Amino acid sequence: MSDKTVHCRNYNENPCSMCMPMGGILPFKGIGQSMVIIHGSQGCSTYMRRHIAEHFNEPIDVASSSLNEKGTIYGGEENLKKGLDNLIKAYRPRVIGVLTTCLAETIGEDIDRIVEEYRLERGLGQECSIIAVPTPGYGGTHFEGYWLALKELARLAGRVPKHSRINVIIPNLSPADIREIKRILGLMKIEYILLPDFSDTLDRPFERPYKKIPGGGTELSDIMAMGGSRATIQMGMTVDERLSPGKYLEKEFGVPLYNIPVPMGIEGTDTFLGLLSRISGHPAPEELSRERGRLLDCMIDSHKYNFRGRSVIFGEPELVGAMAATCIENGIFPVVLATGSKTEKLSRLLQPWLEEHHIKCLFLTETDFFTIREQAVRGKANIAIGHSDGRYLTEREGIPLVRAGFPIHDRVGGQRLLSVGYAGTAMFLDRITNTLLENKYSNYRSSMYRKFYRGDEKDAVPAGKSR
Amino acid sequence: MAVNEKNFDKMLDQYPAKVKRNRKKHIIIRDSSTAAQEIEANTRTIPGVLTNRGCAFAGCKGVVLGPLRDVVHIVHGPIGCAYYSWLTRRNKARSDDPGKNFMTYCVSTDMQESDIVFGGEKKLARTIDEVMEIFSPEAITISATCPVGLIGDDIQQVAREARKRHGINVMSFSCEGYKGVSQSAGHHIANNGLMEWVIGQGTTEDPPGQFAINMLGEYNIGGDSWEVERVLKEIGYTVVSVMTGDGSYEELKNAHVSQLNLVQCHRSINYIAEMLEKKYGTPWLKVNFIGIQSTAESLRNMALYFGDEGLIQRTEEVIARELARIEPALEKYKKICDGKTAFCFVGGSRGHHYQGLYQELGIETLLAGYEFAHRDDYEGRDILPHVKTDADSKNIPDLQVVPDKKRFRLKIPEERMAQLQEKIPLSNYQGMISDMKDGSIIVDDLNHFETEEFVRLLKPDIFSSGIKDKYIVQKMGIPSKQLHNYDYSGPYAGFNGAVNFARDISMSFVSPTWNFIEPPWKNIPLLEGTIGEGES
């Protein structure tokens, strides 16, 4: 393993991350009957809605306090309060997330005070909870925004009697992944509180009549009960402790925390099921054992193709970690692992695997696609795995991209991509193997010709370059 | 159901009283018997109502500057805004020299917390130096996001110094998101900058060819500009520059030599159009290349302006030939579309422009509106002297231009100008309202609540707007057509564009997808049998 490098230039060229409030919106979308208002210029909310909507193909209703020049001088309190009034009147949400922006934080808005004052002024009782999350755009990437919002949500938990349920706290996964995790929990006969759960709200079925706020999402009462749970399973190996909702619940209420990777790959899913078994005492049912067997069969069938893969994997650190581990299990050894976020935990997490298999891999944190592209070429990557902004690796360097994570803007179905659990891993793996195969077949004849008739040793030509 | 005062009022009653009073001024039911119907526009957005509007940064960097392909656009601020404005407008660009097409790059100073505290000027200056080293562009723009103005980074000064250091044009735009009431403020800021620092900087003094024109307010979404240019060139026009779709700094510098400026999107570019007239004596013509009739009319108006017999004849020939070619292709689509109804809510001009095209297909527009337009885009420029300027609009200063001593030339005599103005929209725009049928609804800054309510009331067959409201309406069972990015289709402008549009709209009506909404078991009783009355 070589050292991680931070790009040494002063600017960011083709970013591999978004801003903090963007990440903060997603957990709130996974809370029952909730709405978000962004305290800042209305452009923030408009841009983020646009980007989330294009990934999920769903309405993304996010309000804005529409601050203007006057607000920057006299403070935005009045606008935020008016915005809350209008939001409550039109949507009647049970939960409102108030996220700040560069603007609100730079002018020093004290949103905790404003929200508290608002509650008192309007005599707002239990019917609506307002949660303020300070998310300046310069405070981190959308990954940190996501986890900070989750932590602020976890702070709703109260001191309640102990109960037998288990908290399951998940990172930014696809709705299909969330549904799969719920299915596994169901098969394991686990009673759980899932935070957040946007499996229905951000992938809602067509139904009539249209509802302003979709059904589904974690119930507020369930969040409040998280302090009494038997344990917390948090899929957040790369999450800073300051942002960790699981850590908070452990410190505050003594709920034991089990921090595990996203259940992807054989080992990742084994860890998850093993843990569930250990906590609940329930063995994994036959159905899941068969799924494990089927995944193994898939891995064996594909391993010859997969071993030719040299991957460059990028995106949010938690997903990069899980996808990298899955790739390593299958011989698709990574040459570059990259994230726009600042984290040291990712490389620490993967080190044992990399050492075990003598993999030379470059870690890039706080990076951009300029650097990723440069290093992917240097490492002779032949497959890219990550969100759709990596399409430049295909366009410029002919490295095919398997789309995974968030956002996926140039293809449909990001919300339906299934990659977790044994069954999901098999599907994830097939997507990769088939991309490698497509590349192989599209070059097969020309590379053979070059090899045997022209003595050219180079056989793997990236797709798009030779055609 | 039609919208009348009663159900309209009932709908607005769901708002808090103050909001209702405000919103009522932004919505009118068209009534031609009322001499001048007034609409409120370009005023502050109500917080919390889920507007579709964006910010000044979006209007400046995203809309006007972004499409200039040979310029490196630096976003000075934290990472988000640069990311969100990275190729999101779908304006296409091609370049003879791929090394000078920077469209696909997103360059940000990626300000961190320490930059907010200690200032970001040095980081910006270093970014410019690095951009010069790597891309070596002819020009650089710097667009500011919210915190920049607040922490007092002097980007104008950084730009000035960089200009000296590198000997190229470095322009700075203070388009912080909080300025103005919508992206419209950003258009104005960008217009001022382009006028001050780009247009007229070239050394060309004479038009490069006959009938030299600029095309203003055409952003080449889905290739619109290319389709229009195809026709213009065929007729014999010389397109000097396009602002700014597939536009270039090199062309823009010499835009002053044109003999006529065409204005497609009045809202986003009318400032430059006016300033060009003042500074160089070049009038502008409001054109509309969306729809067959509008395209033909715009072409005829252009020919009339130049008054050249050969040009007029070629215009008619090209129109006749194009019509003969596309009309048969349109027939089958017209049969599908006839009798349908639409909503048409777009940014600052398309809400008006697409109504004609809809009509040609037999589709009636029940409701139309603009996201961020001003009163003149609705009511026509005649009302401009009566529009009150408020604090928000004053915050974006007008750039004062004076006639250029060397280059000012009245392109046509005043007398002929007056004659032409009787016949064609020369340096004038009549706005949307006068083209709308009685009983139709005009909404300024339509929000999500109103979208739902109006869709329920009027039940249009197709809804055309953007991605933020698209999915609401589709979830309500009504097809939607994105008129901001064309759902990755297009071009929709000009003659070929009309056919593309007709095809795409028809597809929404005839796609079998919509036939499966009711499950077959919905109306079949699950159990066969009768319920005996009186049984306990």
Q: In this complex, is the C-beta atom of B484 within 8 Å of any C-beta atom belonging to chain A? A: no
CA A230 from centre of chain: 25
The answer to whether B21 faces chain A, any CB pair under 8 Å, is no
Q: Which of A43, A85, A206 has the CB atom closest to B57's CB atom?
A: A43
Residues of B in contact with A40 (CB under 8 A): 146, 177-178
CA dist list (Å): A37 to A93, A153, A360, B145, B444: 11, 15, 45, 20, 22
Angle at B258 between CA B257 and CA B264, to 5 degrees: 140
Q: Tell me, what's the ipTM?
A: 0.94
The CA distances from residue B95 to A257, B68, B408, B486, in Å, are: 56, 11, 31, 23
- Residues with Cβ within 8 Å of B124's Cβ and at least 6 positions away in sequence, in order, are B74, B76, B109, B142, B153, B155, B158
Q: Tell me the C-alpha distance between A38 and B193, whole Å.
A: 30
Mean pLDDT of B304-315: 98
User: Which of B47, B83, B112 is the closest to A18 by Cβ?
Assistant: B83
Domain with B135, as residue range(s), is: 56-178
Q: Report pLDDT digits (tens) over B271-308.
A: 999 999 999 999 999 999 999 999 999 999 999 999 99
Q: What is the mean pLDDT of residues A90-106?
A: 97
- Which distant-in-sequence residues (6+ apart) come within 8 Å of A437 by Cβ? A305
CB contact under 8 A, B146 and A41: yes
Q: Which residue has the higher pLDDT, A6 or B91?
A: B91
CB contact under 8 A, B14 and A89: yes
| Cα of A121 to nearest chain B Cα, Å | 17
CB contact under 8 A, A67 and B51: no
**Which residue on chain A is closest to B177 by alpha carbon?**
A41
> What value, to the nearest 5°, has the Cα angle with vertex A75 and ends B21 and B151?
135
Least CB–CB distance from B392: residue in A60, A64, A68: A68
Residues of B with a catalytic annotation lie at 55, 58, 89, 187
Q: Is B154 contained in some domain? A: yes
Asked whether residue B69 carries a pLDDT value surpassing 70, the answer given is yes
Mean pLDDT to the nearest integer, A36-49: 97
pLDDT of residue B454: 96
Is residue B172 domain-resident? yes
Residue B348 domain flag? no
CB pairs under 8 A between A and B: 229
Chain B nearest-CA residue for A367: B110
**What does the pLDDT average to over A246-266?**
98
pLDDT at A6: 46
CB spacing of B471 vs A138 below 8 angstroms = no
Q: How is A194-231 classified by DSSP, letter by letter?
A: EES--TTTTSPPP-SS--SS-S-SB-HHHHHGGGG-SE
pLDDT tens digits, residue range A317-340? 999 999 999 999 999 999 999 999
| DSSP per-residue string spanning B92-148 | ----SSGGG--TT--EE----HHHHHH-SHHHHHHHHHHHHHHT--SEEEEEE-HHH
pLDDT in tens, B467-481: 999 999 999 999 999
Q: Which of residues 103-122 of B touch A (CB under 8 A)?
A: 104-113, 115-116
Q: Which residues of B touch A106 (CB under 8 A)?
A: 116, 146-147, 150-151
Distance from CA of A253 to the nearest CA of B (A): 32
Tens digits of residue pLDDT in B239-269: 999 999 999 999 999 999 999 999 999 999 9
Q: Is A5 exposed, middle or buried (0-12, 13-18, 19+ CB in 10 A)?
A: middle
Q: Contact, B483 vs B464, CB < 8 A?
A: yes
CATH number of the domain bearing residue B170: 3.40.50.1980
Within a domain: B35: no
What pLDDT does B95 receive?
A: 79
CB B467 within 8 A of CB B388: no
Q: Residue B297 contacts by C-beta under 8 Å, 6 or more apart in sequence?
A: B288
Whether B397 has its CB under 8 Å from any CB of chain A: the answer is: no
User: Minimum mean pLDDT among A79-83, B84-88, B189-193, B357-361: which range?
Assistant: B84-88
pLDDT of B42 reads 96
Instruction: State the average pLDDT for chain B.
Output: 95
Q: Is B125 on the interface with A (CB under 8 A)?
A: no
**Closest chain B residue to the Cα of A396, Cα to Cα:** B104
Looking at residue B65, what DSSP letter applies? I
pLDDT for A313: 98
Residue A106 has pLDDT above 70, yes or no: yes
- Asked if residue A460 has pLDDT above 50, the reply is no
Q: Compute the C-alpha angle A401/A403/A404, nearest 5°.
A: 135
Query: In chain B, positions 220-279, which contact chain A (CB-CB < 8 Å)?
Result: none
**What is the pLDDT at residue A446?**
77
Quick check: A14 and B53 CB within 8 A?
A: no
Q: Which residues of A touch B116 (CB under 8 A)?
A: 102, 106, 136, 138
Whether residue B199 lies inside any domain: the answer is no
Backbone angles phi, psi at A315, to 5 degrees: 140, -150
Q: Is the pLDDT of residue B406 over 60?
A: yes
Q: Do A11 and B15 touch (CB under 8 A)?
A: no
Q: Is residue B221 part of a domain?
A: no
CB-based contact A43 B58, cutoff 8 Å: yes
Most B-contacting residue of A69, A365, A411 (CB-CB within 10 A), to test interface: A69
> Can you tell me the mean pLDDT for B116-136?
97
User: In this complex, do B50 and A22 lie within 8 Å of one another by their Cβ atoms?
Assistant: no
User: How many domains are contained in chain B?
Assistant: 1
CB contact under 8 A, B81 and A137: yes
Q: Which residues of B touch A71 (CB under 8 A)?
A: 178
- Residue B138 located in a structural domain: yes
Return the pLDDT at A1.
Answer: 42
- Distance, first Cα to last Cα, chain A: 34
- Looking at residue B318, its pLDDT comes to 98
In this prediction, residues B402-426 reach a mean pLDDT of 97
pLDDT of the residue at A264? 98
Partners of A63 on chain B (C-beta within 8 Å) are 47-50
pLDDT, one tens digit per residue, over A112-165 is 999 999 999 999 998 999 999 999 999 999 999 999 999 999 999 999 999 999
- Write the pLDDT tens digit of every residue in B148-176: 999 999 999 999 999 999 999 999 999 99
Contacts of B466 in chain A (CB under 8 A): 50
What order do you get walking across the sheet with A192-195 strand by strand? A192-195, A166-169, A231-234, A257-259
DSSP at A442: H
d(CA B490, CA A335) in angstroms, rounded, equals 40
Beta-carbon separation of A83 and B127 below 8 A: no
> Which of A20, A60, A102, A371 is the mutation pick for testing B, counting most B CBs within 10 A?
A102
Q: Which residues of B touch A53 (CB under 8 A)?
A: 467-468, 470-471
The whole-angstrom distance between B433's CA and the closest CA on chain A is 27
Of A37, A84, A206, the CB nearest to B475: A206
A212–B452 CB contact, under 8 Å: yes
Q: Which of residues 291-320 of B touch A (CB under 8 A)?
A: none
Q: Element (H or E) spanning B367, and its range?
A: strand B364-370
Instruction: Please provide the DSSP assignment of A171-201 as one string.
Output: -S--HHHHHHHHHHHHHTT--EEEES--TTT
Q: Is the pLDDT of residue A8 over 70?
A: no
Please, which pLDDT band fits residue A185 given cuts at 50, 70 and 90? very high
Domains of chain A: residue spans and CATH? 20-154 (3.40.50.1980), 166-280 (3.40.50.1980), 301-453 (3.40.50.1980)
CA distance B470 to chain A (A): 7
CA proximity to A257, closest of A242, A236, A240, A271:
A236
Write the Ramachandran bin of B330: left for phi over 0, alpha for psi from -120 to 50, otherwise beta: alpha
In a domain, B137, yes or no: yes
Confidence of residue B520 (pLDDT cuts 50, 70, 90): confident
Backbone angles phi, psi at B87, to 5 degrees: 60, 25
Q: How confident is the model at residue B534 (pLDDT cuts 50, 70, 90)?
A: low
pLDDT of residue B394: 82
A445/A351: higher pLDDT:
A351
